[in-house]
Amino acid sequence: MKPSELAGRLWRALRQPLVATVFGLLVGAAVILACGQNPGAVYLEMFTKSFFSPYYLFSTLTRATPIIICAMATGMAWRAGYINIGVEGQMVAGTFAATVAALYLPGPPPLAALLAWLIGMAAGALYALLPAVLNWKFQVSMVITTLMLNYVANNLASYFVTYPLKDTSGDGLALQTPEIAEALRLPRLSSTSTFNAGFLIAVAVLLFMLFVTKKTVFGYESKMGGFNPSFARYGGTKQVKVMMITMALSGAIASLAGTAEVFGLKFRYADNMLSSTSYAWTGLMAALIADLDPLGMFFVSIFLSGLQIGGSAIQRSLGIPLEIATIIQCCITLFVSVKLVFRLTRKQSAKAEAKGGAQA
Amino acid sequence: MNSAYIASILNSTLRSTTPILLAALGSAICSRVGVFNIALEAQMLIACFFSIAVNYTTGSVLLSVAAGVLSGALVGLVVAVLQVKYRAADMVIGTSLNLLVQGGTTFLLYLLFGLRGVLNDPKLVSLTKINLPLIRDIPFLGRALENLTILDYLCYFIAAALFVYLFKTVSGYRTLSVGINKAAAESLGTKATRIQMRMVVLSGALCGLGGTALSMGQVIMFTENMTSGRGFIAMAAASLGMSHPLLTILSSLFFGLCQGVGLALQTVIKSQLTMTLPYIATIVALVVFSRRGSGTKKKSLPKA
């Protein structure tokens, strides 16, 4: 790919999000004004403490790692027309399985680590296949089942870290598993911060997504299925097979998000560590803002991560709740979706219908 | 298991049913006019917040309920404008609004009251409790209906009223026709888009009432994300009830029962496990009833 070509692609992927971001930040500015603060100063503080200094940039990239991977997991399913809002549950199921495997599997470290990651991916994939199978066999809405399974996974993992697998060393108050062996952990990429090789996994997932969506028959088939199911069927796509593979991949990718967090940053599974941080939902936002474009999702995830890191910084220093980040994110998504419609209704309203109302 | 125990399960079943039923009715009327509204969760949660916020500042039950209903309807209006009028993608609008309200209520809680996550105060007033004079003294029934709020009764009347409106009035028939074939309805002079928007706002108001029942019924407090998936359970209830108001009562009672039993079991089984019960039950119920009347269901709920 030539540089100019790449720049063009990037511009096309980021044009809409950029406009929406400006509007989102304007809404945020109004909210900050309502808090009695100066938006300019707050934003300056926010972005200084998220992008414009090496230490904070590393924090932003560390937090972005699971968000990027969750965005990819979401994008994988959504672009094929499968509304998977259960990435959180799949991430929890996969991560928990990987952590337990890392704690109890014997064997030489590199092999045990690899096995643990694979077990996590398998668990995530199976957890995502459950709603897919129910949809196929019983036409049960995947929107509902995937969301319900989030609560099931979180509560089950919570049960395990509270009772059978709880770390009893130390004061024994924290609800968490013991730490995984040092040899299984991901290496740090920076000597001064927690930035670790998990980010490289996020990059690998991005490359994998780009490859699958642009270069494989499966990528084409799954996209067609999301775009126009009857055309895909006419074209000879085996939709059930595509659905199963899509959801399994989505779940497997989701598991990587949490596994990278455990193996690279926390070294154990702690109660609610993946849900209280809203990684999956931020990833979903990123996927929506970037209109499911892999490259776009990557950069939007980093941006949203920066908003959150900056949000916690201003909460500490200025007393503005960090949920300001959530508000800005959601407004950006809303502006993106409305903008999308304005563009499409002008060009071809039929396409808008295929994306929105008709599918429902 | 003695009868007092069963009566207390019934009591908590009835209390848990109310928010789900009201939201499910909201979901049902959206399905009936062909709008896929997944912002139910947002419509409920915002009402939980504003009913408690107004309750805390004014101490008036009536104003709190009004605030809950209005705030729910307001979110419904956003859905109506973006999704129905401007035809933005339903999943995008729904999920963004759900998350926006989740973050927004936490933000407002801090901004307005300086509190993080929970607003719980002894001065909060509960909804009017009804203890029927004669029934109160009947042993089993008296316990089962003990201390129910006015909304716990009202929700069934609302369901009945919706049934009468949709199936027994001319305006109701027009409304239904929009969901069956929008273009045909429009060709007969029905203002289809306006009807759709009106129904979505109404669903917001119903969810708002449901959210109010949640925050001012069994417990009187607001906690971050306290709806915890009830909007989606309500969608399942509406889908199982084939978007019919009276059948939706039955399916909502089933989900209420699951929550009631889950609460009762917490004395025997660890709460983390019983908490999964309503969610697993939702999936199982959708599977078990999937074949029955699947034709109607396909129309009311998407493949997605």
pLDDT tens-digit map of A305-332: 999 999 999 988 888 888 899 999 999 9
Give the range of the structural domain holding residue A354, as residue numbers without chain letter. 3-359
Q: B212 and B149 in contact (C-beta within 8 Å)?
A: no
Taking the C-alpha atoms of residue A290 and residue A18, their distance in angstroms, rounded to an integer, is 10
- Residue numbers in B near A329 (CB within 8 A): 99, 103
Reading the block at residue A321, the tokens are 């709740």
Distance to chain A for B35, nearest Cα, Å: 7
Give the range of the structural domain holding residue B120, as residue numbers without chain letter. 3-300
Q: Directed axis angle between helix B3-32 and helix B192-216, to 10°?
A: 160
Strand partners, B176: none
Q: How many CB atoms lie within 10 A of CB B282?
A: 29
Q: Predicted confidence band at B291 (pLDDT cuts at 50, 70, 90)? A: low
Q: Which of A221-230, B118-127, B286-295 has the highest mean pLDDT?
A: B118-127
Q: How many domains does chain B have?
A: 1
Taking the C-alpha atoms of residue A22 and residue A38, their distance in angstroms, rounded to an integer, is 17
The domain that contains B52 carries what CATH number?
1.10.3470
Confidence at residue A1, expressed as pLDDT on a 0 to 100 scale: 58
Q: How many CB atoms lie within 10 A of CB A270?
A: 18
Q: How many CB atoms lie within 10 A of CB B273?
A: 16
Residue B299 has pLDDT above 70, yes or no: no
Distance to chain B for A1, nearest Cα, Å: 32
The domain that contains A333 carries what CATH number?
1.10.3470
Confidence at residue B162, expressed as pLDDT on a 0 to 100 scale: 97
Mean pLDDT, residues B225-242? 94
Taking the C-alpha atoms of residue A251 and residue A128, their distance in angstroms, rounded to an integer, is 5
Question: Looking at per-residue confidence, does B234 or B147 come out higher?
Answer: B234
Counts for chain A of helices (H) and strands (E), in that order: 14, 0
Confidence at residue B301, expressed as pLDDT on a 0 to 100 scale: 39
Confidence at residue B66, expressed as pLDDT on a 0 to 100 scale: 98
Establish if B304 touches chain A: CB-CB under 8 angstroms: yes
Q: Helix, strand, coil: what percent of chain A each, to 5? A: 75, 0, 25
Confidence at residue A342, expressed as pLDDT on a 0 to 100 scale: 52
The amino acid present at A290, given as its one-letter code, is: A
Taking the C-alpha atoms of residue B63 and residue B23, their distance in angstroms, rounded to an integer, is 20
Q: A27 and A20 in contact (C-beta within 8 Å)?
A: no
Which residue, B108, B130, B18, is CA-closest to B54? B108
Confidence at residue B298, expressed as pLDDT on a 0 to 100 scale: 39
Residue B43 has pLDDT above 90, yes or no: yes
Confidence at residue B300, expressed as pLDDT on a 0 to 100 scale: 38
Of B36, B236, B283, the CB nearest to A360: B36
Of A151, A352, A356, the CB nearest to B228: A151
Taking only the tens place, the pLDDT of each residue in B235-247 is 999 999 999 999 9
Q: How many domains does chain A have?
A: 1
Mean pLDDT, residues B183-187? 88
Confidence at residue A13, expressed as pLDDT on a 0 to 100 scale: 67
- How many pairs of residues across A and B have Cβ atoms under 8 Å apart? 178
DSSP string of A11-58? HHHHHHHHHHHHHHHHHHHHHHHHTTS-HHHHHHHHHHTTTSSHHHHH
Confidence at residue A353, expressed as pLDDT on a 0 to 100 scale: 45
User: pTM for the whole thing?
Assistant: 0.90
- Residue numbers in B near A349 (CB within 8 A): 87
Please tell me which residue of chain A has the smallest CA distance to B89.
A356
Burial class (CB in 10 A: 0-12, 13-18, 19+), B114: exposed
- Residue numbers in B near A24 (CB within 8 A): none
Of B87, B116, B283, the CB nearest to A356: B87
Taking only the tens place, the pLDDT of each residue in B252-288 is 999 999 999 998 898 889 999 999 999 999 999 999 9
Which residue, B202, B173, B174, B198, is CA-closest to B186? B174
Q: B238 and B31 in contact (C-beta within 8 Å)?
A: yes
Which residue, B25, B26, B19, is CA-closest to B48? B19
Taking the C-alpha atoms of residue B287 and residue A69, their distance in angstroms, rounded to an integer, is 31
Confidence at residue A348, expressed as pLDDT on a 0 to 100 scale: 45
Q: Predicted confidence band at B56 (pLDDT cuts at 50, 70, 90)? A: very high
Establish if B293 touches chain A: CB-CB under 8 angstroms: no
Which residue, B46, B101, B262, B83, is CA-closest to A353? B83
Mean pLDDT, residues B83-106? 90
Confidence at residue A343, expressed as pLDDT on a 0 to 100 scale: 52
Mutation site for A-interface testing, chosen from B95, B197, B291 by largest number of A Cβ within 10 Å: B95
Reading the block at residue A318, the tokens are 């200025």
- What ipTM describes this predicted complex? 0.89
Q: How many CB atoms lie within 10 A of CB A212?
A: 17
Taking the C-alpha atoms of residue B121 and residue B111, their distance in angstroms, rounded to an integer, is 17
pLDDT under 50 in chain A at which residues?
A: 341, 344, 348-360
